[in-house]
């Protein structure tokens, strides 16, 4: 299993394009398209927010229907959430315009849609129709096209996020690539903000969905930037079968190989989203080990990584471990604080700050040095079992407040 | 029912004192004492955090035991949380020192304890013993003493918080007063950080506890500063019977009168805690009306008032109502967004921003003017029933990050 270039175009048969539709009148690309001539089976997970954006409703219908998918159209700038019937009508117009731009070679009901940006504004559909017809002739199966697409879906992200792997299944080379965007309103409860994964694997829709659903629990659902679960969270994977491996239709060795690849790609992208959280100066990882069960490990890791006070302390390079204990305590998990060991650890070093229920008299200067590095992990040993979980987040900074005190202007 | 001065000393027979024990070597009072010569029945609610501070364990035992209470000793600076067996031993020493300072007129097991401040440090018990013996001769039933006590328990609070009411029960004048402190790690899940209430009412312990438990659900449990539920949340009420009303031992009219007074005192103090949240520049109130049941109203109000993104928008005077809808959506309540109306309202005016599922084309300048005022309410009409709830919080500011990036130094 090796990392390769090409992002969403790494898999055979996938093309991408991007363009500037000027949705929020910025001078950068704000629309992207993904296309596969071969029909794709598709799996998806979507936000658990009761307030679901129009494109989330559109995609969920398409994924549930079992119809093949050929294309995805994504925009940044406006989220098409809280937009009523008009928002849903605009989704239909986007898909119709896409089918038309392809000369009706593909049908409107084979087009996935995704939007990210401001809630409550209507999309400028005429500008978008123009952008869609511009993108179709620009479609390319190239690294550059994949990167352009991953940049077009950014909002407050400071870097684009793409990753791909190559591996072998049934004697055939298979690829799995993806792109994703953060970086605020990130506290996924089903799946992350917007993530598109593509693979040339041949697999049934049922197993593709099973692999994705099991995967998000330990990857995209374990990151948090600000505790706000978006209206638009979408993670979809398209599989077009171009690798020509014997179709995966049972949970044997091939399925496990694919799941391993999916986990690696998803973890890489999830971690990048956390590191690029709005205003972040630290990637903050919480690793819970020796928990009595997997769910307890996840609950505690997620609670600590989401704690406002802990995040502010990480920003201040302050080894204020009491806030970590406090966040473990209100997580909802039941455990014995007197069994807990807590460390801060990264490439600079490792320091124990809490041992079996009592504070360790640690070297504050060394702790500050460790916390001064751009990545830091709180390692929590529960001494209650053998399960573990990891959550990824970031610190709470002045810049976060700057970004969010006036996001709309 | 009229507001009166005197805070925790407004009720007949209660005395207070404060002194500087120099727990965190500051030059201000950091210890307080409350005393009633008449024995008090006591009720309490405490943090739901699995990690409970030593004084929380101490008080819970005392409240559960049903023993009468004569005094409370409270310190700021150090929370006595995550301090192991030594922390519990220090509680015992504090109570013993208090009994000794009273010449054993009261017993150590009639003394409530509370601590607030940094987690994980041990209390300097020798300094505290000296402070305790200093406070006993200083005890006074005066406005000044009550105010001094309410100031001594402050940590990052910028103002002290006390309030009292006078009302009539069974032909007797009764008083209920209280003091409380915020202002970080405030997201109570049973009760607020530290709140002491005193009353000269004569009431059974059972009804005192029932009234308090029912009261916190709609008052202290409805405030949030940062989503972090403290290890030390404590709310206790002492009733010494000095008003000589016929004892309240059934849930009749007198009990309802007392509950009304308790609600008014608690709401006033809760609201002050929210307004004085760490770094706050706005008191942010969320009022949910026409909900299908009380629990739904509470859940939605609490979710919105806790939303990091909404709090940052309030700071920026940005009527970014999409974040309010988003936080309603992920609250866990199920509702129809297409029935929701949303307004921002305060003394400056009232503006509708979302109506029955679609955005209102509102005047942004007028919205900014409303949000520029130091208090603002998000009024949410659900159109699903007749229940309502209110939550109180504050905005997320640069100053919050300043305070919490290096709280320990």
State the virtual CA torsion across B278, B284, B290, B294 in degrees, nearest 10: 10
Tell me which chain A residues have a C-beta less than 8 angstroms from the C-beta of B90: none
Instruction: Examine the pLDDT at A189 and tell me if it is beyond 60.
Output: no
The two three-digit tokens of residue A26, written as one number: 């910025």
Mean pLDDT of chain A: 90
Looking at the complex, does the CB of residue A312 fall below 8 Å from at least one CB of chain B?
Answer: yes
- The verdict on whether omega for the bond into residue B183 sits within 30 degrees of 0, i.e. cis, is yes
Other beta carbons within 10 angstroms of residue B380's beta carbon come to 26
3-state secondary structure of B68: coil
**Cβ proximity of A70 and A36 under 8 Å:** yes
- What is the spatial distance between Cα B123 and Cα B75, in angstroms, rounded to a whole number? 9
Nearest chain A residue (CA) to B232 = A326
- Residue B317 phi, psi (nearest 5): 55, 35
- Give percent above pLDDT 70 in chain A: 95
pLDDT digits (tens, 9 = 90+) for B355-378: 998 889 999 999 999 999 999 999
A161 has a pLDDT exceeding 50: yes
Instruction: Judge whether A316 is closer than 8 Å to chain B, CB to CB.
Output: yes
Look up residue B143 and give its two tokens.
């406005």
Chain B residue closest to A341 (CA)? Answer: B82
CB contact under 8 A, A230 and B326: yes
Q: B197: helix, coil or strand? A: strand
φ/ψ (deg, to 5) at A25: 50, 40
Give phi and psi for A384, each to the nearest 5: -125, -5
B312-334 residue pLDDT tens: 999 999 898 988 998 998 888 99
How far apart are alpha carbons A203 and B194 in whole angstroms?
58
d(C-alpha A356, C-alpha B85), whole Å:
11
Tokens 């130091």 locate to B374
The DSSP code for B1 is -
Backbone angles phi, psi at B303, to 5 degrees: -65, -45
* Predicted local confidence at residue B284, as pLDDT: 95
Calpha distance B164→B197 (Å, rounded) = 9
Inter-residue contact A405 to B315 (CB < 8 Å) = yes
Contact yes or no for B316 and A226 at CB 8 A: no
Catalytic hit among A45, A83, A98, A192: A192
Query: b vs e for B55-90, b when ≥16 Cβ sit within 10 Å of the residue's Cβ?
Result: bbbbbbebbeeeebbbbbbbbbbbbbbbbbeebeeb
Give the residue from chain A lying closest to B87, CA to CA.
A358
The pLDDT of residue B236 is 85
- DSSP notation for A308-337: HHHHHHHHTT---HHHHHHHHHTSS----G
For residue B387, count other CB atoms closer than 10 A to its CB: 17
The answer to whether residue A406 scores a pLDDT higher than 80 is no
> How far is it, in rounded angstroms, from Cα B270 to Cα A215?
43
Query: What is the per-residue pLDDT across B169-200, written as a single tens digit (0 to 9) for each?
Result: 999 999 999 998 876 666 654 333 688 899 99
Does A320 contact chain B (CB < 8 Å)?
yes
B62 in helix, strand or coil? helix
Closest to A224 measured CA to CA, from A192, A246, A199, A256? A192
Cβ of residue A233 closer than 8 Å to a chain B Cβ = no
Among residues B172, B216, B210, the alpha carbon closest in space to that of B191 is found at B216
DSSP B153: T
Q: Is pLDDT larger for residue A229 or for residue B221?
A: B221
Mean pLDDT in residue range A166-191? 79
* Catalytic position from the list B45, B116, B192, B377: B192
d(Cα A213, Cα B261) in Å, to the nearest integer?
Answer: 52
Whether A367 contacts chain B with CB within 8 A = no
Active-site residue, B204 included = no
Rounded to an integer, what distance in angstroms lies between the CA atom of residue A201 and that of residue A242? Answer: 7
Q: State yes or no: pLDDT of A184 exceeds 90.
A: no
Position B107 pLDDT exceeds 50:
yes
Residues of A in contact with B48 (CB under 8 A): 330
Reduce the DSSP state of residue A163 to 3 states and report it.
strand
CA distance A238 to A44: 9
Cβ contact, residue pair B325, A120, below 8 Å: yes
DSSP B203: B
Strand partners, A343: A352, A379
B386 Cα to chain A: minimum distance (Å): 21
d(CA B291, CA B284): 20
Q: Is A86 on the interface with B (CB under 8 A)?
A: yes
Coil, strand or helix: which one is A132? helix
Residue B46 three-state SS: strand
Closest-CA residue of chain A to B320: A408
pLDDT category of residue A192 using cuts at 50, 70 and 90: very low
CB A40 within 8 A of CB A173: no
Check pLDDT > 60 for residue B112: yes
User: What's the CA gap between A336 and A102, in Å, rounded?
Assistant: 61
Amino acid B117: pLDDT: 86
Buried-state track A260-279, b at ≥16 Cβ within 10 A, e below 16? ebbebbbbbbbbbbbbbbbb
Q: How far apart are CA B240 and CA B114, in angstroms?
A: 20
Structure tokens at A284: 């903050």
Residue A191 reports pLDDT greater than 50: no
List all residues 6 or more positions away from B242 whose beta carbon is below 8 Å from its beta carbon: B11, B12, B13, B36, B38, B200
* Inter-residue contact A315 to A406 (CB < 8 Å): no
A385 φ, ψ to 5°?
175, -150
Q: A339 touching B, CB under 8 A?
A: no
Q: In B81-189, which residue ranges form alpha helices assigned H by DSSP?
A: 84-101, 125-138, 143-152
Contact between A407 and B49 using a beta-carbon 8 Å cutoff: no
A406 and chain B in contact, CB less than 8 A = yes
Chain A residues close to B333, C-beta within 8 Å: 50
List, as one string, the DSSP characters of A90-115: HHHHHHHHHHHHTTTSS-GGGEEEEE
Q: How far is A228 from chain B (nearest CA, A)?
A: 6
- CB atoms inside a 10 Å sphere around CB B267: 19
Q: Which of residues 34-53 of A touch B (CB under 8 A)?
A: 48-52
Least CB-CB distance to B320: which of A333, A398, A408? A408
Q: Which domains does chain B have, with CATH numbers?
A: 2-275 (3.60.70.12), 283-405 (3.10.20.340)
- Confidence label for B50 from pLDDT (cuts 50, 70 and 90): confident
- Which residues have CB under 8 Å from B301's CB, separation 6+? B222, B286, B287, B288, B380, B389, B390, B391
Give the model confidence (pLDDT) of A283-294 as tens digits: 999 999 999 999
Residue among A46, A390, A60, A45 nearest A213 (CA): A45
* Stretch among A226-230, A242-246, A323-327, B43-47 having the lowest mean pLDDT: A226-230
Convert the pLDDT of each residue in A276-330 to its tens digit: 888 889 999 999 999 999 999 999 999 999 898 899 999 999 898 988 998 998 8
Question: Which chain B residues are closer than 8 Å to A48 by Cβ?
Answer: 330
Determine the 3-state secondary structure of B279 from DSSP: coil
Pairing, β A194-199 against β A223-224: unpaired
Q: How far is CA B373 from CA A119, B315, B344, B345, in A?
A: 24, 11, 11, 10
How close A120 gets to chain B, by Cα (Å)?
A: 6
Q: Locate the chain A residue with the closest alpha carbon to B118.
A: A322
Bridge pairing between strands B69-78 and B111-118: parallel
Q: Which residue has the higher pLDDT, A366 or B156?
A: A366
Question: How far is the C-alpha of B166 from the C-alpha of B301, rounded, in Å?
Answer: 31
| Rounded Cα distance, A82 and B358, in Å | 6
Confidence category of residue A252, pLDDT binned at 50, 70, 90: very high
3-class state of residue A24 by DSSP: coil
Q: A356: nearest CA in chain B? A: B84
Highest-confidence segment of A18-22, A231-235, B77-81, B82-86: A18-22
Which residues of chain A neighbour B398 with C-beta distances below 8 Å? 398, 401-402
Q: Which pLDDT score, from 0 to 100, does residue B193 have?
A: 65
Residue B69 · residue B111 · CB < 8 Å: yes
Q: Confirm or reject contact between B380 and chain A (CB < 8 A).
A: no
Give the minimum alpha-carbon distance from A187 to chain B in angstroms, rounded to a whole number. Answer: 10
> Is the confidence at residue A226, as pLDDT, over 80?
no
Query: Residue A309 is nearest to which of B82, B337, B404, comparing CB atoms?
Result: B404
Report which DSSP code applies to B283: E
ipTM for the whole complex: 0.74
Q: What does B28-56 look like in DSSP terms, one character per residue?
A: S--EEEEEEEEEEEEEEEE---SS--HHH
Q: Return all residues near B286 (Cβ < 8 A) that are at least 6 apart.
A: B300, B301, B302, B304, B305, B377, B378, B380, B390, B391, B392, B393
């Amino acid at each position: 299993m090796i990392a390769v270039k090409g992002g969403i175009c790494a898999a055979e048969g996938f093309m991408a394009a991007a363009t500037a539709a000027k949705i929020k009148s910025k001078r950068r690309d704000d629309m992207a398209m993904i296309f596969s001539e071969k029909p794709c089976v598709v799996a998806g997970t979507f936000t658990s927010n009761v307030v679901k954006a129009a494109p989330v409703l559109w995609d969920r219908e398409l994924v549930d229907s079992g119809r093949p998918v050929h294309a995805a159209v994504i925009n940044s700038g406006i989220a098409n959430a809280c937009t009523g019937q008009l928002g849903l009508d605009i989704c239909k117009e986007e898909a119709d315009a896409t089918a038309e731009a392809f000369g009706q070679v593909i049908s409107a009901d084979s087009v996935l849609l995704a939007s990210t940006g401001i809630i409550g504004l209507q999309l400028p559909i005429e500008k978008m129709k123009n952008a869609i017809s511009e993108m179709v002739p620009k479609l390319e199966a190239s690294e550059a096209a994949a990167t352009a697409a991953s940049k077009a879906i950014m909002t407050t992200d400071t870097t684009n996020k793409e990753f791909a792997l190559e591996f072998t299944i049934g004697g055939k080379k298979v690829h799995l690539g993806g792109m994703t965007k953060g970086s605020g309103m990130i506290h996924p409860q089903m799946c992350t903000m917007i993530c598109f994964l593509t693979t040339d694997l041949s697999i049934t829709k049922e197993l593709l969905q099973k692999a994705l659903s099991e995967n998000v629990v330990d990857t995209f659902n374990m990151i948090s930037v600000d505790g706000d679960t978006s209206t638009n969270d979408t993670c979809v994977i398209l599989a077009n079968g171009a690798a020509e491996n014997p179709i995966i239709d049972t949970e044997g060795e091939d399925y496990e190989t694919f799941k391993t690849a999916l986990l690696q790609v998803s973890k890489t992208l999830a971690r990048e989203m956390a590191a690029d959280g709005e205003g972040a100066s630290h990637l903050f990882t919480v690793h819970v080990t020796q928990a009595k069960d997997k769910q307890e490990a996840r609950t505690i890791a997620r609670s600590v990584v989401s704690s406002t006070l802990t995040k502010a302390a990480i920003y201040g390079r302050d080894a204020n471990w009491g806030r970590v204990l406090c966040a473990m305590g209100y997580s909802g998990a039941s455990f014995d604080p007197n069994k807990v060991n807590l460390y801060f650890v990264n490439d600079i070093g490792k320091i124990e700050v809490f041992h079996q229920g009592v504070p360790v008299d640690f070297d504050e200067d060394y702790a500050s040095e460790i916390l001064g590095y751009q990545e830091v992990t709180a390692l929590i040993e529960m001494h209650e079992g053998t399960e573990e979980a990891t959550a990824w987040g970031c610190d709470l900074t002045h810049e976060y407040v700057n970004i969010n005190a006036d996001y709309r202007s």
